[in-house]
Chains A and B, each alone.
Chain A
Amino acid sequence: MATAAAHQTYGAEEAGAGTAAYERAFDAAVAADERIEPRDWMPDAYRATLVRQMAQHAHSEIIGMQPEANWITRAPSLRRKAILMAKVQDEAGHGLYLYSAAETLGTSREELLDKLHAGRQKYSSIFNYPTLTWADVGAIGWLVDGAAITNQVPLCRCSYGPYARAMVRICKEESFHQRQGYELLLALSRGTPEQHAMAQDAVDRWWWPSLMMFGPPDDESAHSAQSMTWKIKRHSNDELRQRFVDICVPQAESLGLALPDPDLKWNEERQHYDFGPIDWSEFKEVLKGNGPCNEQRLTQRRRAHEEGAWVREAAAAYAAKHNDTTGAMQA
């Protein structure tokens, strides 16, 4: 039977007696590096993992607007102001792409936002740190976006089609984010002594939290192994973290800024940089809600949503009156 709505999906219940056959087909498709599409049969746990991960990713994009939007009104030149506005706008856009990808699995954006607002779904802990100076905008671009890109590029080959396609678009757009951050820090580093100090201070504060963005060490990561089998995830947390450190060290040298880790040094044998221990107790505290900005970020998000309710209602009411929700349009 053909079914209306491209996004309607099939769960195990509908599959009924044929579940085992479906499961074999699913496993074979994943093993053969084929993409899973919304209406394909998929294990419930695969669906749940994807919804959780895409939602968390989408939430991170929209919460992540806040620390940077914090500086839009104070950007020190009109060029920087335009760049920052465009970047924060991209983050809203990326949130939209990702909510759309999550919706292909039958979970509405409204539902996901409700969970975020109720604290039942997480966003990246990095955004619970404050942006205290202008240089933080640069450090976020270089380190936080850099870490995000390292994480996200492999997601472009994620087994779930809509997620992979959203990530292709996002990664294309993100490359400007990292470069503008690096350029911003470079201008500060080569600027006045006060500007240089501002840049160093920002790197000192953002370096370790950026390393934590790759998640707990592999032996403690709750979902990693299954996600790797399903090809939702392609590389382990530690592998990606090491890749990021290796990329950043020479970049920091070119910037003329120090990375705040006395143990950081090249290991000839491993052909990688060694780095010092990460303070996972801080990570856990921030994750639990005790970071500097957890409360503030969620409060602002909830307020924007609540204060916008009358606007969304008005538009829906207008559409109902003018009976204009169906029928394709063209421009």
Chain B
Amino acid sequence: MTAAPATPVPTTAALALGDDALVLSHRLGEWAGHAPVLEEEVALANIALDLLGQARVLLSMVGDEDELAYLREERSFRNLQLVEQPNGDFAHTIARQLYFSTYQHLLYTELAAGDGQFAGLAAKAVKEVAYHRDHAEQWTLRLGDGTDASRERMQRATAALWRFTGEMFQPVEGLDVDLSALEAAWLEAVGGVLRRATLTVPEGPRSGAWTAGAGRQGVHTESFGRMLAEMQHLHRSHPGASW
């Protein structure tokens, strides 16, 4: 896909970014045929396709995209726990989108501005991600400031996923960005959207000892194994086959 760069691509970082995109794309793909309105079928699929495209570029930087996606065990995946969380209702999906796309937008903006291995990819992806972020913000506003029922659902969703957001700012080996410095901007941006959506900014802890280093170290949540089982089953059933 991409020409081999002069200096080796940092594997851990490529896997972290690639797995985030791959796993979130998969989750969004689960919405196909289930979205709340037809227009949203199209929108969610667009986002999923953008992410899948990013994942394929990133994984191909450090190996064969299909081997990496289909033949790694759960503990070898480096994605955030946030992106593997089940879709839940539409509010949970939007909260997950808001948290992740805001993070990804800040991160890719930094990467695109630099001259590292990921600058090229980030420059293209940052435009896609800006749209994902806008989509999530627009929906957060409508669900938060819509009906009483929607506000309650959105409040519950933002609170439930809050504890997965601390992990985003842990350092990633080989990623030439000061992630902890992005945290303030993220908190301000997300807090601003939530407040405009008449929602309370969650107050719980944003990471905990139980996460044991979490997704970036290959520790995932229970539903992730089941997701991988489904994703990898067919590919693994026919070793060596081409598709």
A residues with a Cβ closer than 8 A to B are 62, 65-66, 69, 72-82, 85-86, 88-89, 92-93, 95-96, 99, 134, 184, 187-188, 191-192, 194-195, 300, 303-304, 307-318, 321
Q: Does B178 contact A (CB under 8 A)?
A: no
Beta-carbon contact of A69 and B149 below 8 Å: no
CA distance A312 to B147 in the complex (A): 10
Q: List A contacts of B30 (CB < 8 A).
A: 72-73
Distance between A137 CB and nearest chain B CB, rounded to angstroms: 11
Q: List A contacts of B149 (CB < 8 A).
A: 310, 313-314
Q: Does B241 contact A (CB under 8 A)?
A: yes
Beta-carbon contact of A65 and B39 below 8 Å: no
Q: List A contacts of B3 (CB < 8 A).
A: none
Say yes or no: A310-B150 contact (C-beta < 8 A), given A74-B230, A82-B52, A85-B32. Answer: yes
- Please report whether the interface of chain A is mostly helix, strand, loop or mixed according to DSSP: helix
CA distance A311 to B149 in the complex (A): 9
Q: List B contacts of A73 (CB < 8 A).
A: 26, 29-30, 230-231
Distance between B31 CB and nearest chain A CB, rounded to angstroms: 9
Given A92-B38, A304-B35, list of 6 further CB < 8 A pairs? A76-B235, A300-B33, A304-B36, A314-B149, A314-B150, A315-B146
Picked from A74, A78, A88, the residue with its CB within 8 Å of the CB of B32 is: A88
Say yes or no: A77-B66 contact (C-beta < 8 A), given A69-B33, A310-B149, A318-B146. Answer: yes
Distance between A109 CB and nearest chain B CB, rounded to angstroms: 8
Q: Does B142 contact A (CB under 8 A)?
A: yes
Q: Does B112 contact A (CB under 8 A)?
A: no
Task: Jot down 11 A-B pairs with beta carbons below 8 A, ordered by A.
Answer: A62-B38, A74-B234, A76-B234, A88-B45, A96-B39, A191-B243, A192-B238, A194-B238, A304-B34, A310-B153, A315-B146
Q: List A contacts of B243 (CB < 8 A).
A: 76-77, 79-80, 184, 187-188, 191
Beta-carbon contact of A192 and B241 below 8 Å: yes
4 closest pairs, A vs B, by CB? A308-B36, A314-B146, A314-B150, A89-B45
Q: Does B7 contact A (CB under 8 A)?
A: no
Q: Does B242 contact A (CB under 8 A)?
A: yes
Q: List A contacts of B145 (CB < 8 A).
A: 318, 321
Q: Does B95 contact A (CB under 8 A)?
A: no
CA distance A327 to B222 in the complex (A): 48
Q: List B contacts of A79 (CB < 8 A).
A: 56, 243
CB nearest to B91 among chain A residues: A311
Beta-carbon contact of B55 and A78 below 8 Å: yes
Beta-carbon contact of A313 and B52 below 8 Å: no
Say yes or no: A65-B41 contact (C-beta < 8 A), given A314-B146, A314-B147, A317-B147. Answer: yes
